[in-house]
Amino acid sequence: MLHELMTRLADTFDPGTIEAVKGPVSLYGGLILGLIFGVVLQKGKICKYDVVSGLFRLQDFTVFRLGVPLLIVSMVLIYFLKGMGIMELHIPKTVIVPQIIGGLMFGSAIAILGYCPGTAAGALGEGSLDAIPSVLGMIVGAVIYAEFFHVDWSNTFLTWGTLSRGSFAEILRINPWYLIVLFILMATMFLMMVTMFDWFLIFLKKTLNRFHDLTDTLDEKRPTAPENISEDTKAISASTRNTVSKLKKNLNDIFKSPSK
């Protein structure tokens, strides 16, 4: 029994995959890229539940701040290097209806999980043990789809809205660089909007402390105020003075010294 399992396991390994470093099947290439990818994910702090869930709660925009430069820089570099003739594009095919449905389902899963498939692996390396059931769940989900649904669905809605041509540049028949410039402008505007919204949230939170009142629930009790303050100062500081001083301090924090 064990011997049979070992032979099956040996069957799954193809010696042709460890011959070269370059090329789409090389295991060495995957390992090298994975090492770099893991370091970047961990240092960017996007394989944490708190950060990704904060994005979908509209309160923590680390993912946007990381994602916009990522998209801009890699788009420019890839089209530049393609123009130089160094590399080719590998455009994923577009099928509109299943991608909308799949995106909605994927989004609802990511809101609960807090990890996308790549960052689940990164979170596992970082010590989040709850990435283990998520990885197992992803494998089980893929098996369920393959065993029970693929044949039934492959001729119905999985083909609705298939586009024959690849990228927007080919669909609109224009030079891709116009679209790239447009994308850069829009993405920069978006990033500025997000940053302003973030400042607004910091400002609200620090001045009014509304957020803390809602969040001080379970084990995160804040320390109570010291009691050896005279009655007068209590009466004054409770209302206006406190708020004004906080407001000044926060304006300082936000606009004068962005780095801590």
Which one of 2, 88, 226, 227 is in contact with another protein (CB under 8 A)? 88
Q: Give me the 161-180 binding string for another protein, x by CB under 8 A, dash otherwise.
A: --x--xxxx-x----x--xx
Query: Closest approach of Cβ 137 to another protein, in Å?
Result: 2
Integer angstrom CA distances of residue 22 from 19, 193, 223: 9, 41, 58
Q: Is 83 in the site for another protein (CB under 8 A)?
A: no
Smallest gap from Cβ 117 to another protein, in A, equals: 4
Q: Could you tell me which stretch among 120-128, 222-230, 235-243, 244-252 binds another protein (CB under 8 A)?
A: 120-128
Cα–Cα nearest to 189, from 72, 57, 51, 56: 72
| Binding-site member from 19, 83, 101, 192 for another protein (CB under 8 A) | 101
Size of the site for another protein (CB under 8 A): 141
Nearer to another protein, 2 or 225 (CB): 2
Say whether residue 34 binds another protein (CB under 8 A): yes
Looking at residue 151, its amino acid is V
Binding test (CB under 8 A) with another protein, winner from 1, 3, 84, 86: 86
Residue of the chain from 84, 85, 92, 173 that contacts another protein (CB under 8 A): 92
Instruction: List the one residue out of 131, 132, 118 whose CA is nearest residue 40.
Output: 118
Report the distance separating Cα 214 and Cα 103, nearest Å.
Answer: 31
The span from the CA of 166 to the CA of 99, in Å, is 15
Radius of gyration, CA atoms only, the chain: 26
Distance CA 26, CA 19 (A): 7
Q: Does position 30 bind another protein by CB under 8 A? A: yes
Query: Which residues, other chains included, contact 3 with Cβ-Cβ below 8 Å and sequence gap of 6+?
Result: none
Nearer to another protein, 1 or 235 (CB): 1
